[in-house]
Amino acid sequence: MLFNSIEFAIFLPLVFAIYWLLNKHLRWQNLFVVLASYVFYGWWDWRFLILIAFTSFCSWGSGLLINQSPKPKRWLTLNIVVNLLILGVFKYFNFFVGSFCDLFGISNSLVLQVILPVGISFYTFQALSYSIDVYRKRIAPTRDVVAFFAYVSFFPQLVAGPIERATNLLPQFERQRTFNYEEAVDGMRRILWGLFKKIVVADNCATYVDQVWNNYANESGSTLALAAILFAFQIYGDFSGYSDIAIGSAKLFGIRLKDNFLTPYFSRNVAEFWKRWHISLNTWFVDYVYIPLGGSREGRWKTIRNTFVIFLLSGLWHGANWTYVTWGLYHALLFVPLILLGRTKAYSGVATWKQIPQILLTFALVVLGWIIFRAPSISDAWGYICGMFQWGTLRSVYRFFIPSDLYIWPKNILILICICIEWFGRKKPHCLANIENLPLLKCRFLRILLYALAFISILFFRGGLHPFIYFQF
Amino acid sequence: MKKFLQDIAFGLCLIIIVWGAYELIYSRTTKSSYSYKYQYVQTHRNDIKVLLMGNSHMENGVNPYLMGDSIFNFASSGRWIYYDDLLIQEFVPQMQNLKMIILALGYAIPLTNYHNHEIKDMAPQYIYFYANQMHKFYDVFPDNIIHSSALLSGVDILSPYVPQCDSLGYDPSLGQSDDWKNIHNVKKTMISDDKKFSQDTLECKEHILNIAKICYQHNVQLIVITTPCSNYYLENVTEEGLKMTRDIIQRVQKCYPIEYRSYLSDSDFRADSLYFNSSHLNSIGTDLFSLKLARDIGLIK
């Protein structure tokens, strides 16, 4: 079930109503969350439910065993192995076998005919974090299997994050939730903003980007550069839009999820970008891989090594393709000068007007990385980048501003609106937060009118239907 | 909670009011290809000599400008043969100079289930229309096509959503649309399950028979054609499906003189560069096909 679908528009209010009707019975309410989440997830393919139930059960059981057993590490290792084995079989088996066969010129007859379950990387990591946190005594193991299943499968963040931690989400399922008007309104605002970013910004960009990528060898340098920039907005609108809808939907149920994006394209260097982009995944890798490896405490060279490890793993997490690994490697390389110069923590707070040159430079570097990420293969990425810098890019740069250039002008305006709203709201938790404090919007009815008009605008300016990019991960 | 629900209800009311205003002020007052064609045929009924009928394969795939004078493209996207039959019943008896009707019969038409799509009342029209829009939102080809029924009922609700055709009814806009453009993607609804649709096949035969009868009675030559399709589409075409189409034509031919020309796998149209998607020609393909068709049936030499 997609967030931008009619099914979800019916599903969400229905679940909302029943959920709050069960408010006085915590266990039943949690059970209903599990049921609703399984319906949501099973909408793609009911067979995936077996997998998520198994993953949930293993992690829940391992939590109890880690706590009771004299050899807790054994149970933790077992749970990690089981979870990664499932992930490996479904996501990486064909990739590694194929790469091995390509390397040694062997014919590959071991191709597994399996469909990649939607969001498997997300919920596997979420389930893993619980058992690791129990092992590290950061959280007490829960005996409440229903609450744990709700934690792993909570539908707003199930298929594309944010990847939650048991320390934040599980306690929320173990205590009574209360309906909060301000939180619910903020949730609705966040859903609205997420829909705008996905349906208007990302889906409009996607059409142009796909057109250019399908025929990149014959496109001019400026067209390729523009498509690369638009892809940056597509993936941002797509993924952060999803996160906003997830966080907003969760708020309707009295659940607070962690932020996943904090205006990442206003970052002033790559290190800051990674503190603002897909925060839940990056903090996961930092907490469970980078810090156990020594983090930045054991000298610069080990810091560099550890940085390469987490970026390569992060690239691989995104998909079973060398392009993702290369993308991770590219970002690790961008980190090296920052580590050597000691500038990984150079910036705090939000960007100012004076820092726009740094922002643009960082954005350009990130866009270059997105080309590798978007390309079907390394050779395509290289061909695209070469094509972008061919003679004619600068000569025809004026085409950026011509309305007729592949109908991009309306899309540019929409992106511009998005950038402006995000820029002026960059100090807030999300850009539409607390808009009731604006002088013009103090009246409740005016605000509702604004939301209604915004919703209609989303329908009018919607792009073609494109699935969420991060579903494939 | 009560306050929140009040806000939601108020917001929904506002959305409905704004949408309704848009409908009344803009949608209802904008002309569509459908209303334009309907009115054109009404006002030029004595000028038209050749009428092109059928669905998008004809509307987007045959350009009357290249075929001669007094030719009008009366085809509409998504139209099933039931509506061609109704329109021919309505107009042909009034068209005194009409010499020829060229009817596009897509490969999947006799095999496609379009039952229960006769909607003439206002309320179902709207429901179907918005259901259709929702399908578009999903990028799924709708199961029930409303276009032609909207034209017949006079409820011109599709106006702002449908492309505008040129003065002779040719609509090249399919080739400019961002959506739907993938030659490799053969839509499920374009290739139907051969085994399932015996009832629809029979119904299709009845409509062609009816059209042939009207043409015969009014001394109008009927030519049924199947437009060219890409190699990707042809991969999904089955011998049973082709046989079903041929059988229908042969049975009608036993009763009335109709000519059938299949360009489905025509060797002149094998290049991918001639197609917009798997089963629709692009503007280059359309020009080539229009000229070839006009030569084949003797409209130009």
Between CA B270 and CA B274, with CA B271 as vertex, the angle to 5 degrees is 110
Query: Inter-chain contact A464–B179, Cβ cutoff 8 Å?
Result: yes
Confidence tier at B144 by pLDDT (50, 70, 90): very low
Question: Quick one: pLDDT at residue B136?
Answer: 43
Considering only A9-13, A141-145, A344-348, which range has the smallest mean pLDDT? A344-348
Tell me if chain B has a CB within 8 Å of the CB of A465. yes
Taking CA atoms, what residue in A is nearest to B183? A214
Question: Quick one: pLDDT at residue B214?
Answer: 95
Chain A residues in contact with B3 (beta carbon < 8 A): 181
Confidence tier at B139 by pLDDT (50, 70, 90): very low
Query: Inter-chain contact B15–A452, Cβ cutoff 8 Å?
Result: yes
Confidence tier at B149 by pLDDT (50, 70, 90): very low
Chain B residues in contact with A6 (beta carbon < 8 A): 134, 137-138
Nearest by CB to residue A456, choosing from B18, B138, B139, is: B18
Terminal-residue alpha carbon distance, chain B: 76
Tell me if chain A has a CB within 8 Å of the CB of B130. no
d(C-alpha B257, C-alpha B37), whole Å = 28
Q: Work out the average pLDDT over A373-394.
A: 83
* Confidence check: pLDDT of B76 > 70: yes
Query: Inter-chain contact B14–A462, Cβ cutoff 8 Å?
Result: no
Considering only A101-115, A133-147, B21-35, which range has the smallest mean pLDDT? B21-35
Chain A residues in contact with B1 (beta carbon < 8 A): 20, 179, 181
Q: Work out the average pLDDT over A265-274.
A: 90
Structure tokens at A386: 């070469």
* Confidence check: pLDDT of B196 > 60: no
Mind telling me how many Å the CA of B63 is from chain A's nearest CA? Answer: 25
Which of A207, A212, A465 to probe the B interface (max B CBs under 10 A)?
Answer: A465
Q: What is the DSSP string of B196-243?
A: T-HHHHHHHHHHHHHHHHHHHHTT-EEEEEE----HHHHTT--HHHHH
Looking at per-residue pLDDT, the higher value among A243 and A320 belongs to A243
- The pLDDT > 90 percentage for chain B reads 28
Looking at per-residue pLDDT, the higher value among A408 and B78 belongs to B78
Q: Work out the average pLDDT over A308-316.
A: 91
Chain A residues in contact with B19 (beta carbon < 8 A): 456
The predicted-structure confidence for A346-375, as pLDDT tens digits, reads as follows 677 788 888 889 999 999 999 999 999 999
Question: Quick one: pLDDT at residue B135?
Answer: 42
* Confidence check: pLDDT of A287 > 50: yes
Tell me if chain B has a CB within 8 Å of the CB of A211. yes
In 3D, which of A168, A173, A177 has the Cα closest to residue A138? Answer: A168
| Angle of the A322-340 helix axis to the A300-318 helix axis, nearest 10 | 160
d(C-alpha A460, C-alpha A462), whole Å = 6
Active site residue A430: no
Considering only A447-461, B66-80, B81-95, B247-261, which range has the smallest mean pLDDT? A447-461
* Confidence check: pLDDT of A398 > 60: no
Q: Work out the average pLDDT over B8-30.
A: 77
Question: Quick one: pLDDT at residue A232?
Answer: 93
Identified catalytic residue from A318, A331, A430, A466: A318
Looking at per-residue pLDDT, the higher value among B33 and A317 belongs to A317
Q: Work out the average pLDDT over B252-271.
A: 92
Structure tokens at A351: 């960007």
d(C-alpha A367, C-alpha A362), whole Å = 9
Taking CA atoms, what residue in B is nearest to A207? B178
Tell me if chain A has a CB within 8 Å of the CB of B184. no
* Confidence check: pLDDT of A211 > 60: yes
The predicted-structure confidence for A83-133, as pLDDT tens digits, reads as follows 989 888 887 777 777 777 777 777 766 666 677 777 888 889 999 999 999
Mind telling me how many Å the CA of B21 is from chain A's nearest CA? Answer: 12
Tell me if chain B has a CB within 8 Å of the CB of A218. no
Q: Work out the average pLDDT over A447-467.
A: 76
Which of B3, B7, B276 to probe the A interface (max A CBs under 10 A)?
Answer: B7
Nearest by CB to residue A181, choosing from B3, B11, B179, is: B3
Question: Quick one: pLDDT at residue A207?
Answer: 77
Dihedral sign from CA coordinates of B128, B129, B132, B137: negative
Tell me if chain A has a CB within 8 Å of the CB of B138. yes
Q: Work out the average pLDDT over B117-137.
A: 48
Structure tokens at A305: 């090594």
Question: Quick one: pLDDT at residue B145?
Answer: 40
Tell me if chain A has a CB within 8 Å of the CB of B139. yes
Taking CA atoms, what residue in A is nearest to B178? A207
Helix ranges (DSSP H) in A342-468 = 356-374, 378-388, 409-424, 444-460
* Confidence check: pLDDT of A411 > 70: no
Confidence tier at B128 by pLDDT (50, 70, 90): low
Question: Quick one: pLDDT at residue B189?
Answer: 47
Q: Which residues pair with B281 in a beta bridge?
A: B275
Taking CA atoms, what residue in B is nearest to A407? B178
Chain A residues in contact with B184 (beta carbon < 8 A): none
For chain B, list the strands marked E by DSSP.
50-53, 71-73, 100-104, 221-226, 258-262, 275-277, 280-281
Query: Inter-chain contact B7–A456, Cβ cutoff 8 Å?
Result: no
Confidence tier at A468 by pLDDT (50, 70, 90): low
* Confidence check: pLDDT of B133 > 70: no
Looking at per-residue pLDDT, the higher value among A468 and A252 belongs to A252
d(C-alpha A257, C-alpha A266), whole Å = 23
User: What pTM value is reported for the model?
Assistant: 0.74
Query: Inter-chain contact A448–B134, Cβ cutoff 8 Å?
Result: no
Considering only A140-154, A185-199, A334-348, B20-34, which range has the smallest mean pLDDT? B20-34
Question: Quick one: pLDDT at residue A16?
Answer: 94
- The pLDDT > 70 percentage for chain B reads 68
Query: Inter-chain contact A184–B4, Cβ cutoff 8 Å?
Result: yes
Q: Work out the average pLDDT over A162-180.
A: 90
Question: Quick one: pLDDT at residue A188?
Answer: 92
Confidence tier at B50 by pLDDT (50, 70, 90): very high
Looking at per-residue pLDDT, the higher value among B297 and B29 belongs to B297
* Confidence check: pLDDT of A379 > 70: yes
Considering only A172-186, A194-208, B11-25, B259-273, which range has the smallest mean pLDDT? B11-25
Chain A residues in contact with B183 (beta carbon < 8 A): none
**A458 contacts A199 by C-beta, under 8 angstroms:** yes
Query: Inter-chain contact B11–A5, Cβ cutoff 8 Å?
Result: no
Considering only A444-448, B195-199, B240-244, which range has the smallest mean pLDDT? B195-199
* Confidence check: pLDDT of A336 > 60: yes
- The pLDDT > 70 percentage for chain A reads 91
In 3D, which of A198, A274, A203, A267 has the Cα closest to residue A237? Answer: A198
Q: Work out the average pLDDT over B145-163.
A: 44
Confidence tier at B105 by pLDDT (50, 70, 90): confident
* Confidence check: pLDDT of A406 > 70: no
Order across the sheet with B100-104: list the strands. B71-73, B50-53, B100-104, B221-226, B258-262
Q: Residue B81: is it exposed, middle or buried by C-beta count within 10 angstroms (0-12/13-18/19+)? A: buried
Looking at per-residue pLDDT, the higher value among B72 and A5 belongs to B72
Nearest by CB to residue A5, choosing from B4, B8, B138, is: B138
The predicted-structure confidence for A412-443, as pLDDT tens digits, reads as follows 677 788 888 888 888 887 887 878 888 878 88
* Confidence check: pLDDT of B153 > 50: no
Collect all residues with Cβ–Cβ distance below 8 Å to B269 and sequence separation of at least 6.
B228, B263, B281, B285, B288, B289
Q: Which residue has the tokens 């030499």?
A: B301
Across all residues in chain B, what is the average pLDDT? 76
Tell me if chain B has a CB within 8 Å of the CB of A59. no
Question: Quick one: pLDDT at residue A455?
Answer: 83
Question: Quick one: pLDDT at residue B130?
Answer: 55
Across all residues in chain A, what is the average pLDDT? 84
In 3D, which of B227, B199, B185, B188 has the Cα closest to residue B110? Answer: B199
Question: Quick one: pLDDT at residue B143?
Answer: 36
The predicted-structure confidence for A46-65, as pLDDT tens digits, reads as follows 888 888 999 999 999 999 99
